[in-house]
Amino acid sequence: MLYIISNCTNGKKLLPNKCNLFRNYRHNIIENVILDWRTNLKNSSNKIKAKDLYKGVTWKAILDCEKEFNIKFPTKLLIASAGYGLIDSEKMISSYGITFSRNQLDSVNKYCLNKIWWNNINEFSVNEFKNVSAIFICLSKEYLDATNNYIEKLIQIYPDKVFIINVAKKCDLKFRKNSLNFDSRFNLYEPGTLINLSQRVLRWLSKEIVKNDLKLDHNILQEYINNFLNKFENVYTKKGKKLEDTDLKIMLNNFMLKENILSASKGLTLLRKSGFSCEQKRFHNLFNNLKKEILKK
């Protein structure tokens, strides 16, 4: 069995009820919060398959990975959820509002350490992994930090079968041997934001593994990745491509509506790291004007 572990996304097709919003929990004792949280999720009547709850380009990329890997391997998608812990994507769940991401209204870290919450909420034992051919882990930094101890246990059991998608400049040293390293040069092949870079590179890798019958071996896969990224070495050093206002507005619209980026400075940073250029004043004017239009709707 090939496993994919991906974090959930903020975008959901169903709105959560008030009892499933973390902002409404005020207990001082974490055990009580966990108990109330689980009880409210369990008692919620409006349930949907986990894989059908989430939406957006980031989630679509993960579903594409599952579909692609399934061509060659029996594949199971698992979701690292701040609301439920690690769950099978086929599990029936309720919508909820809670996240390991920082500075959100429903952020766990406003209340306790992400790692402590994960250790209490997760009920999916490492012993539930069966007949493992590979485990591909595609998590944001906050979710990777929260699940740190859990991933360490997986590596202890399956040292050569855990592959962690890493798009950061530096990876966690204890995961170094299990990391598959990418960087933003990938955006010169497939333009996009850094927010969903991990999911997009795994989608590309899944296609390459299936198409070229690549062995699930860390050294072989990393060499293949390096050879691919090196094709863009010269292009990477050039000044970013300029966009016309119409094309830039389309990209900004995606930033705001699909990726929930509402800061012009953050948007400009992502634009430039995606291989495009724009003068700061022009970008801020377009961004802020478009933001006003969207908020009026």
Question: Distance between CA 28 and CA 37 in Å, rounded?
Answer: 14
Chain segment 172-186, per-residue pLDDT in tens:
778 999 999 999 899
Backbone angles phi, psi at 277, to 5 degrees: -125, 155
Between 192 and 124, whose confidence is greater?
A: 124
Question: Distance between CA 163 and CA 184 in Å, rounded?
Answer: 19
Chain segment 60-99, per-residue pLDDT in tens:
999 999 999 999 999 999 999 999 999 999 999 999 999 9
Is the distance from CB of 122 to CB of 115 less than 8 angstroms? no
Q: Please state the rounded mean pLDDT for residues 93-109.
A: 92
Residues 6 or more apart whose CB falls under 8 angstroms from that of 215 comprise 221
Q: Please state the rounded mean pLDDT for residues 278-296.
A: 83
Direct distance between the N- and C-terminal alpha carbons of the chain, in angstroms, rounded to an integer? 46
Please, what is the average pLDDT of the chain?
90
Q: Please state the rounded mean pLDDT for residues 252-280.
A: 80
Does the structure show a pLDDT above 80 at 294?
Answer: no
Chain segment 112-169, per-residue pLDDT in tens:
899 999 999 999 999 999 999 999 999 999 999 999 999 999 999 999 999 999 998 7
Strands 85-88 and 75-81: antiparallel
pLDDT of residue 239: 52
Question: CA 209 → CA 191, 206, 261, distances in Å?
Answer: 21, 5, 32
Least confident of 48-52, 96-100, 205-209, 253-257: 253-257
pLDDT of residue 234: 52
Strand partners, 79: 6, 87
Name the residue type at position 268. L
Does the structure show a pLDDT above 90 at 50?
Answer: yes
Question: Distance between CA 38 and CA 153 in Å, rounded?
Answer: 25
Chain segment 51-61, per-residue pLDDT in tens:
999 999 999 99
Helix (H) or strand (E) run with residue 101 in it: none
Strand partners, 49: 92
Residues 6 or more apart whose CB falls under 8 angstroms from that of 32 comprise none
Question: Distance between CA 219 and CA 87 in Å, rounded?
Answer: 30
Between 259 and 78, whose confidence is greater?
A: 78
Q: Please state the rounded mean pLDDT for residues 191-208.
A: 93
Q: What HEC string does 5-30 produce?
A: EEECCCCECCCCCHHHEHHHCCCCCH
Question: Distance between CA 44 and CA 190 in Å, rounded?
Answer: 40
